[in-house]
């Protein structure tokens, strides 16, 4: 399977970066199997990095033997996924996994999470709202052992918008 990572630079050798701990699944190297999602995120990364480099998508071959490691998989938004994302965004990940796979809580989804956290939606109402959204996936590589299952294939730059 091919996975993509959004950046503002080419990344031949992925690394675990602890800079952003309060993300959906916590610290690690985020990828997706959705090329279009990676391209959208590459533009966001480029903008956040004050337009340094270029919006860049890095492509990797994924060795599915990584799934034999300590892996957490969310097939779809669920109560367990919602609790996990909310906790990680507030406190950072407490559990140790090599690989975490599941839906992305993008900006649109994050607004639903904010309504849930503020008590304006119940957990079930929030999950029902997620079911009508086309959620992208993410593969988070949390350890060097998991990263060893990615092989760099290529990168390409996108036009600056």
The pLDDT tens digits of the residues spanning 29-75 come to 999 999 999 999 999 889 888 878 999 999 999 999 999 999 999 99
Residue 107 has pLDDT above 70, yes or no: no
Q: CB count, 10 Å around CB of 35?
A: 13
pTM value?
0.87
Q: What pLDDT does 13 receive?
A: 96
**Nearest C-alpha neighbor of 61 from the set 1, 18, 129, 134:** 1
The pLDDT tens digits of the residues spanning 75-89 come to 988 889 889 988 888
Q: CB count, 10 Å around CB of 144?
A: 12
* Domains of the chain by residue range: 2-157
Q: What pLDDT does 17 receive?
A: 77
Torsion of CA 76, 78, 83, 86, to 10 degrees: 50
How many Å apart are CA 152 and CA 137, to the nearest integer? 20
CB-based contacts of 145: which residues, under 8 Å, 6+ apart?
69, 98
The average confidence (pLDDT) of the chain is 88
Residue 132 has pLDDT above 70, yes or no: no
């Amino acid at each position: 399977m091919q996975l993509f990572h959004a950046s503002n630079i080419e990344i031949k050798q992925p690394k675990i970066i602890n800079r952003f701990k309060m993300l959906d699944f916590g610290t690690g190297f985020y990828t997706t199997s959705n090329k279009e999602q990676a391209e959208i995120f590459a533009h966001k990364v480029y903008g956040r990095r004050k337009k340094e480099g270029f919006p860049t998508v890095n492509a990797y071959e994924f060795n599915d033997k990584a799934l034999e490691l300590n892996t957490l998989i969310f097939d779809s938004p669920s109560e367990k996924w919602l609790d996990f994302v909310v906790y990680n965004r507030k406190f950072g990940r407490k559990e140790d996994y090599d690989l975490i796979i599941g839906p992305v809580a993008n900006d649109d989804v994050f607004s639903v999470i904010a309504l849930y956290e503020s008590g304006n939606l119940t957990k079930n109402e929030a999950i029902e709202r997620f079911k009508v959204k086309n959620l992208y996936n993410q593969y988070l590589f949390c350890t060097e052992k998991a990263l060893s299952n990615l092989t760099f294939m290529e990168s390409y730059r996108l036009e600056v918008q």
